[in-house]
Amino acid sequence: MAAPSRTDVGFRSERGPVLIALMLATSLVALESTILATAIPTIVSDLGGFTQFPWLFSSYLLTQAVLVPVYGKLSDLFGRVPILVFGIAVFALGSVLCALAWSMPALIAFRALQGLGAGAVLPMAQTIAGDIYTVAERAKAQGYLASVWGMSAVIGPAVGGVFADHLSWRWIFWVNLPLCALAAWVLLRNHREEKPTGPRRAVDWAGATTLAAGAALLILGLLEGGQAWAWTSAASLSVFAAAAVLLTAFVWIETRAPEPILPMWVLTRRILVTTSAVSCLVGAVVLGLTSYVPSFVQNSLGTTAVVAGFTLATLTIGWPIAAAQSGRLYMRIGFRRTGLVGSVPLLVGTALLTRVGVGSSPWQVAVSCVLIGLGMGLIASPALIAAQSSVGWSERGVVTGSNAFARSMGSAIGVAVFGALANAALARSGADAAPDAGQLAESVGPVFTAVLVCAVLLVACVAAIPSGTGTDAGPPPSQTPAPH
């Protein structure tokens, strides 16, 4: 749909209710990423299955990631709103079942169902924002969406702890229902989207199936390698071999499908390849920080869980502030140069993080995270907007979906690499089942160094983005957007 020519982006504007609906939908995914962690001890005490609880996160991440490209293509075929509402409905159903779960395996299965819904929610929210706002306005709109993650990083752990301690951990899932209903109602009431015109196009179900199955096995192998099984074990090699076969079959199918679920031009256009690489490395950096900063601050620096949580929250506070202001920069100097400006605080922040140790202050870690957040805000959002603005309405869904999928793959790869580095460092330190503060700090040191390496690679990818890309206010002439 054509982006309006108005410059109002706030809540009181004509498009304000739609923005509120998108923020509510995004909050479903953002809160679910933070609210559950503090309730894990209570859940394990109630349901048992201590050795299985990591799958509460793995199953959700796995199913959330694998269908993102499929949802993106379906939104180009049938419209954004039906896919987003479907995702909200599946997420709500999964939440109800999670709240009623009677065992840890059941809760894990229902978390996977939640992930299937979440996989549609986040990319569709970003795609609709790309549809209804001009290139100049999108940075502020994406800043609003990014601010949801900052609020969730602060609110989620506290709310999860309150529910677990004073009500029931099941309220963590019940609370999603009013949010789901409100987000869907506000969206359907305020956003009128006409279906794409032209003849009805067939869905590439063979491509969708092989992509989802192959990606699921690949991510499964990355998540569980070195944990559930050794990297060189028969189980690990079998999983990766099956993933390779399915993904090879997917490529073969896509080259022959009349309407491929993930067109091969996504892998050949320089702007899309570079911005997806940026998104992949963003996923790795964020995963490294969110996984290891809280445990380092709490266990190695001797602080409380609340202080550790707020230390990490500084990352998601700086991010939306910089993202909201990035539009002024990229409209003047372009997407690539804006990203290079953001690379300065990113590199400084990640370099400072490698210098922290047992004698450091939480404030040192917080300053590093603020700088990293500011850098990410000037890199991640402009990179996504550059990719979106390089195509028209009929391709924006698949481009946004592939970008989100790249970020999920970066997170999965980060889980594998950072976990292997931390475990190897613990083994070298001679740590037993209860490592001390110094040994924990030694195990996190290589992870922070790897995050710095990822940041350097991220800057290299930003530098490779074509200069002068997509700062015009509309889609390419060859693309006809659906009417609004």
Q: Is the pLDDT of residue 245 over 50?
A: yes
For the ranges 24-33, 140-149, 329-338, which has the lowest average pLDDT? 140-149
CA-angle at 308, arms to 305 and 314, nearest 5°:
140
CB–CB of 285/372 below 8 Å? Answer: yes
Q: Is the pLDDT of residue 480 over 60?
A: no
Q: What are the pLDDT digits (tens) for 184-218?
A: 998 888 887 766 665 666 778 888 889 888 888 88
Q: Is the pLDDT of residue 327 over 90?
A: no
Q: Is the pLDDT of residue 242 over 80?
A: yes
Q: Is the pLDDT of residue 472 over 60?
A: no
Q: What are the pLDDT digits (tens) for 114-144?
A: 989 998 998 898 888 888 888 777 777 877 8
The most confident of the ranges 8-17, 46-55, 401-410 is 401-410
Q: What are the pLDDT digits (tens) for 270-306?
A: 999 999 999 999 988 988 887 788 778 877 787 776 6
Q: How does residue 66 score in pLDDT terms, banded at 50, 70 and 90?
A: confident
What global pTM score does this model have?
0.80
Query: How many CA atoms within 13 Å lie on the side-chain side of 39?
Result: 28
How does 240-278 read in b/e, with b if 16+ C-beta sit within 10 Å?
bebbeebbebbbebbeebeebbbbeebeebebbbbbbbb
Percent of the chain exceeding pLDDT 70 equals: 87
Q: How does residue 177 score in pLDDT terms, banded at 50, 70 and 90?
A: very high
